[in-house]
Amino acid sequence: MAYGIPADLVDDHLAMGESQAIMCVKRFAVGIVQVFGEEYLRSPNAEDAARLLAMNKARGFPRMLGSIDCMHWSWKNCPKACHGQFHGQKKGSTIILEAVADQETWIWHAFFGMLGSLNDINVVNRSPLMNKIANGELPLVSL
């Protein structure tokens, strides 16, 4: 998983077939969700939002939940058919990660998959997080 290589590339090294390697990765992902999902793989609830607002207000940033950023990550194994869409600002293909984190480095939102050819403004315009904000789908918090 860490190297982003096809499942059948490690057949000889791991002495298992492609389908077995894929099944192991799926089991690993399900295990991560079962163990950590309730606490870490979720959006902030009203209690979390109130705590973040209080913490940021004390630091001089009233009404701020976290910091949003868009990062262009190099995509070494981009398929040739997608290369034009994912061609980043620099050499090679990139994929964009949009993330929101607080000062404790708790990641409250992460979204991969935007085309590397987009700039940050276009990413924010297509962001599922910004859609939730615009549609009023976030938890209500009294200030």
CA distances 139 to 46, 75, 102, Å, are: 5, 35, 17
User: What is the model's pTM?
Assistant: 0.63
pLDDT in tens, 95-124: 888 888 888 778 888 888 777 667 777 887
The string of DSSP letters for 2-43 reads: TT---GGGGHHHHT--HHHHHHHHHHHHHHHHHHHHHHHSS-
Helical ranges in 68-141 per DSSP H: 120-125, 128-135
Domain boundaries, the chain: 42-135
**SS3 for 88?**
coil
pLDDT in tens, 20-33: 878 888 998 899 88
pLDDT in tens, 36-71: 888 877 778 888 888 888 988 999 988 888 888 888
Q: Which of 69, 67, 65 is nearest to 139 (CA)?
A: 65
Task: Report the pLDDT value the prediction gives residue 60, as an integer from 0 to 100.
Answer: 92
b/e 24-55 (16+ beta carbons within 10 angstroms → b) = eeeeeeeeeeeeeeeeeeeebeeebbeebbee
